[in-house]
Amino acid sequence: MDDKERLIMTIAILGGTGKEGKGLAYRWAKNGYRVLIGSRTPEKARAVAHELGALLKERACIEGGDNLMVAKNADIVVLTVPYAAHRPTLESVREALQGKILVDVTVPLVPPRVSTVQMPPAGSAAQEARQLLGEGVEVTIAFQNISHEHLLEDEDVECDVLVCGSSKPARNETLKLVAAAGLTGWDAGPLENAVVVEGLTSVLIGINKKYGSTHAGIRLTGIPIQEGPDD
């Protein structure tokens, strides 16, 4: 992706100290984005930022801070927290997200039956986020079906990314982030379709357990790979 075409320059990752958040931060920083790692514990966020910066050296622009601070200073915000922390995290940054895009990576997993699909009353975690944040925030989903196992490694990930969202422009911006992470993304339609994408994660967890794997994923076939998201 041409830097001149990149509208979004700063990405905040709330809950970015977890494995998924760290892997995505690594890939985006490597591709030239400024990445802000967020956490309830700023010291932990700064430690992860330092760790990733050491991996990427002069190529990295990664900083750490509390969730609210990084949300305020980002162009786009990515949420990578466990489902139990989903609502409280969103409530703590609601005002900072107004006018922005939230990419919700959360899956409504309910231990101990994480391989069983258990969707919330709103239909999906992303629809819960939309209800909580209001019309002033565009909500998309992505990366639910990507295992964190290989994100911190410089290798191809054999899994596609399905993107749903509250508007086509928001989905297109999210697809740019998918491409910047070195992954293939597909526009999977409106936010209501998130129920399928989020639920598929439990199915993949069950497949991993049954067949002794750690990174089962999905791959779309029969569709020519496009150069990039639609205008």
User: Looking at this protein, which amino acid is placed at residue 140?
Assistant: T
Q: d(Cα 11, Cα 25) in Å, to the nearest integer?
A: 9
For residue 230, the model assigns a pLDDT of 60
Residue keyed to tokens 């209001």:
134
> Cα separation of 218 and 117, whole Å?
17
Q: Which amino acid is at 71?
A: A
pLDDT of the chain along its 231 residues, tens only?
444 444 458 999 999 999 999 999 999 999 999 999 999 999 999 999 999 999 998 667 999 999 999 999 999 999 999 999 999 999 999 999 999 999 999 999 999 999 999 999 999 999 999 999 999 999 999 999 998 877 888 888 889 999 999 999 999 999 999 999 999 999 999 999 999 999 999 999 999 999 998 888 999 999 886 655 565
pLDDT at 111: 92
Give the predicted TM-score (pTM) of the model: 0.92
**50 exposure class (CB count in 10 Å sphere: 0-12, 13-18, 19+):** middle
**Residue 215: what pLDDT?**
84
Question: How much is the pLDDT for 229?
Answer: 59
Q: Which amino acid is at 43?
A: E
pLDDT score of 190: 98
Which CATH architecture does the domain made up of 3-211 adopt? 3-Layer(aba) Sandwich (3.40)
Q: CA 175 to CA 229: how far, in whole Å? A: 6
Task: For 20, list phi and psi in degrees, rounded to 5.
Answer: -65, -45
**What letter would DSSP give residue 10?**
E
